[in-house]
Structures are given as structure tokens and as C-alpha cells.
Structure 1
Amino acid sequence: MSVDPNRPSAARIYDCYLGGRHNFAVDRAMAERALALVPEISRIARANRAFLDRAVRYAAGRGIRQFLDIGSGIPTEGNVHEIARSIDPQARVVYVDVDPAAVVHARQILDGDPLTAVVQADLLRAAQILGDPQVKALLDPDEPVCLLLVALLHFVPDTPELREALRTYHDTLVPGSILVVSHATRAVEGLADLYTRTGLSTVPRDEAELAGLIEGWEPVAPGLVRSPLWRPEPGGDADDPAGFALLVAVAERV
């Protein structure tokens, strides 16, 4: 598995925003350019992590004990397995990312954890992911799964392949499964242009466009909203405008 330290990685740049250490000079340089363009980008990233925390707790509170996190990036403090296991220590998590750098770091961090696995695969290869031996070994297809597509879809152009992949996930996962999604809005259009110019194609979307991508899933209250408005916790980020650059939803397979 080849990792190019001279090419920026979306996962490692995100790690920079969160104050992580799993990044290279090229990623830090890209993060600095992004911060100059959108000074609140680190707060947006933290708002995304806060939503992830609330959404995983919601799913675990509904009795879900298996999680498929696609576009997972580099595991950091407060990741899916840690959140889920605060509710059930036996929760099982499969992390999936197309970026070899993210996969290498994730395997190093999670080495020796029998209830997690890390798979390198593309979101668009739904049948490959769902049929992967590691996925099948950890996740029971007859039980509900929490599918996480957090800060991922805005890196994927709207193509028939994307629509087909999303239908495959929906149709394969059993009723009671939950989808968790967050997505950049056009409030960060300039940042999207910067990413695209450096080879990280980025596609901000509005509410109607994101709703079309998750069609077939039934959003739970309060529906498709800006990040701080999805079931905020007392003293949380409900009043932080940075989080409003993100659309989020938690939806059920009925």
C-alpha cells in the first residue's frame, strides 16, 4: 500500500484541522491555506465531530451495536468505536476509506482490537465493501447497521455510479438500520475551489441536492438540518455559526 507524502490527503488535512499528528508537511501547508481562506474551518471540523458523537449515541441508544463508517479518515479521539463502546463495550465497527494513508494510520492505531477492522475501498464499490471478508466477519447482515457517511459525499460527484452505490447500501441493510450523513454547503464554496485545484474534487450541495442522495431513508426529527440544530446538547454548539456550514441528517431504513 503506497502512501505519497508529497500529495495532500483529505483525511490528513482533516486531521490537521482537529489538531492531530497523523499528517505530513504538504497537508499542513494545505490546511494553512484553507484556514487563511475560511478561518472558522477548524470549528467547522469540530462541529462535525460533535454531530458524529450525538448521532452515534442516538444509534447506540436505539440498540444498534454494529457500525460501518465509510470515508472514516484517520481515527482520532472520540471516534465511532469509542463512542459506541461507551454504551456497549461489545460494539463492532468497520472503518472504510479509499485513502491508503488513512488506512495505514487506522490500522496502526487500531491494531490488536478484535472488534474493529479497517478496509481500503471506494464508497462507489458498495458490493465490494459489503462482501468484504472483514465486513462479513464483524457485521451480521441480519441485524441493523449504522452506516456513516460523515463529511464524505461532498468529495463525490453526482453520477449514476454514486446513485447506484447508495441504492445498494439502502437495499442491502435491513430495516431498522440507520444512516448518518454530514455534508458541506455552498457556504464553503471558496474552500471547495481550493480543494479541487489541488486534486481533491469537492462538490458542495444544498438541502434539496442532499435530500435527493439519501432518498429512501426516513429522516428522524429534526430532519435534514444544519449541524448545530441536530439534537444539540445543553451547553453544546447550537449557537456556533461555524457549524451552519454543514448539512446533517440521521435517517432510518424502514
Structure 2
Amino acid sequence: MLRPAHARVLDALLPLDLDREYGPDDPFRWVGKDNYSIDQEMIAPINVCAPGFGASVRAGHVFQLRAVAALADRGVCQFVVIGCGYPRERNVGSVARSIISAASVLYLDDGMIVSAYGLALLDTENRYLRADLDDPYSILAAIEHTRLRPGGIDPSRPVALVFGSLVLERLKDPTTVIAELVAAFPSGYLAATHVCTDADTEADTVVNVATVYTEYHLTMRPRTTAEVAALLAGVELLEPGLTVAQDWKPAPTTKSGEASERSSLAALGAWGGTQ
């Protein structure tokens, strides 16, 4: 029996166009194009028990692209996306290369179908490999695999590690994954988002979402702000620190959103003297 998958559920949670403002009755408000009816079936009770959750996930996803642009503006030209999900028209590679045309981007994910889509749909300037996202050594092996190849990742230069949306919430031990990856590179940056139970005034809604995930045999572990901060203890957080995703250097047109839409925290950190 077909079950929901993390990457497809994320796709169903995100709108087709991240930049478009959808009306409340728009049938495509929270439906991407790379998901099945079973994934939308799972989203239905989430939209009932936590109607702002999709907007919160979207805000976290948009933060990642803003963070990549900010890093590229600093001259960072190497990006590793850990748990990238299905390719979208606007992604880490397209954002980074709009600023640095020669930027190197490596996409990693653990899903077989996601990998097939990635290999087929991403342009030839991107690299896409499968890796066990719970295993930092599998991630590092994938990065090493590209090192001597054109457009590969050079560990001796600053590397930006970008954790995909709703990835840290499903890892068994994200603290170890982050710590091992940071320790493996002399310098770099880390961009991450995480669903939080105390970032808004309706924390129970996030717990309800986690319950829906469990009912559909998927994992989503929301954490408190203190717990998320502990995950990032190995990096120095850049301004404005760990904050609600909508509040991380927002564009002038960014709306703060209702309380239930503000459950995704976001942070950009650095280590090894990079600032």
C-alpha cells in the first residue's frame, strides 16, 4: 500500500509558486506538483488542526533561499543541500548562481524516487547524490565523492551546509549530525530551520501536526527553542540569531503572519572564523 513520503508531503505543503500570494479559496494554495493523493490526504487533517502550519513551513523554505543569497553576496560559492526534496524552479542553485555564476551546489537526499527526479530535472551545473541523512559519514562520503570533479566541493574552502525544510525534525540524532559535519570542515556556514513548540502562542497545533505524521507512519519531532539552540551549539549564530523564520532579515513586503503561522525557527551560523 502506498504511504506518504517526507519529500512528497513537503511538496504538498508548499505552494507551486513561493513568491505568489494565494487567496484562501485558491485550490493550489498549498499544493505543489510532485505529490500523490495519499500525501494530500495526510495534509487535509493538518490543515484542519493547524491551519497556519503550511504558511510556517513556507516561511522556513523562503528563509533558506534568502540565507543562500546572503551568503553568495558574501562570496560563498559552495553549497551542500542536505535533504533537498523535489527540485523546484527556484532553488539553492538558481539563487546562488544568480549572484555567483560559478557557484558549486551539491544536493543530497535519501529517497530513491527523489534522487531519480533530481537527476532528471536539475540542470547539468548541479550535482545530486543519495546519502543517508541520519549518518554524517554518509553525507561526508558523498561530498568527498565530488571533490576532484568539475564543480565539486572543495573542503579546504568555506562550505555552506543548508538543511532542507523539515529535515532536522526527522533525523534520529541531529545534534551529532551537525556536530560531525561542522567538525569535518575548517570553516563554513550552516543554514537551518526547525519547527518549534514554543515559537508561537498556539504550540499545541505543532504537537497535533506531529501526531498526524505519526498516524501516517512518518516522523516529525518538534522541539523547543532551547532544544533547537542546543542543536546549533557548534556554530556562531549571525544576526539576527535564532528567530522566527518570517523575522529573519525580512523583505519590506514580508508579512509577519498569524501566530499559528510562526512556528518555524530559522538561523544562519558560521564557524572557523568565517563571518
**TM-score of the aligned structures, taking structure 1 as reference length:** 0.89
Offset from partner CA, 1:173-221 (integer Å, 9 cap, x none): 222x110000011231100111022111111011110111111100001
C-alpha deviation, 1:226, in angstroms: 0.8
**Partner deviation per Cα, 1:48-96 (whole Å, 9 max, x = no partner):** 2221121111111111111100011111132101111110121111111
Is it true that 1:154 corresponds to 2:172 in the alignment? no
How far apart are the structure 2 equivalents of 1:64 and 1:196? 38
Identity of aligned residues (%): 30
Equivalence for 1:7:
3
Q: How does 1:28-39 map to 2 (within 5 A)?
A: 28-39=40-51
Corresponding residue for residue 96 of structure 1: 108
Distance 1:114 1:66 in 2: 16
**CA-CA distance at 1:242 after TM superposition:** 4.8
Instruction: Establish whether residue 228 from structure 1 lines up as the match of residue 243 from structure 2.
Output: no
The alpha-carbon deviation at position 245 of structure 1 amounts to: 0.6
- Size of the aligned set, in residue pairs, is 244
Q: Distance in 2 between matches of 1:76 and 1:238?
A: 24
Q: Give the Cα–Cα distance (whole angstroms) in 2 for the partners of residues 204 and 38 of structure 1.
A: 14
* Pair 240,234 (structure 1): closer, same or farther in 2 beyond 3 Å: farther
- Alpha-carbon separation, structure 2, partners of 1:89 and 1:150: 22
Which residue number corresponds to residue 128 of structure 2?
118
CA distance in 2, matches of 1:229, 1:94: 28
- Asked if the contact 1:223–1:249 (Cα under 8 Å) also holds between the matched residues in 2, the reply is yes
**Residue type of the alignment partner of 2:96:** A
Q: Distance in 2 between matches of 1:224 and 1:218?
A: 11
Q: What residue is the counterpart of 2:189 in the other structure? A: 178
Give the structure 1 partner of residue 18 of structure 2. Answer: none
Q: Does 1:23 align with 2:35?
A: yes
Q: Give 1:243 deviation, angstroms.
A: 4.3
1:68 aligns with one of 69, 80, 97? 80
What's the C-alpha RMSD, in Å, of the aligned pairs? Answer: 1.7
Quote how far apart the aligned CAs of 1:239 are.
4.5
Q: Matches of 1:163 and 1:46 in 2, distance apart?
A: 24
Equivalent residue for 2:158?
A: 144
The question of whether the paired residues in 2 share the 8 Å contact of 1:22 and 1:105 is answered with: no
Which residue of the partner structure matches residue 83 of structure 1? Answer: 95
Indicate conservation of the 8 Å contact 2:57/2:264, yes or no: no
Instruction: Look up the match of 2:267.
Output: 249
Structure 2 counterpart of 1:53: 65
**Contact conserved, 1:227 with 1:243, CA < 8 A, in 2?**
no
Query: What is the CA deviation profile of residues 132-158 of structure 1, one whole-angstrom value per residue up to 9, with x for unaligned ones?
Result: 25432310111111101133111123x
Distance in 2 between the 1:59 and 1:135 partners?
21
Task: Give the counterpart of 1:217 among 228, 235, 252.
Answer: 235
Greater helix proportion: 1
C-alpha displacement of 1:118:
1.3
In structure 2, what is the Cα distance between the partners aligned to 1:230 and 1:135?
A: 32
* One-letter identity of the residue aligned with 1:16: A
Query: Structure 2: which 5+ runs fail to align?
Result: 15-30, 198-202
| Alpha-carbon distance change, 39 to 65 in structure 1, aligned in 2, over 3 angstroms | same
Contact 1:226 1:243 in 2 (8 A): no
Q: Which residue of 2 aligns with 1:135?
A: 146
> Match of 1:250, SS?
strand
Tell me, what secondary structure is at the counterpart of 1:231? Answer: coil
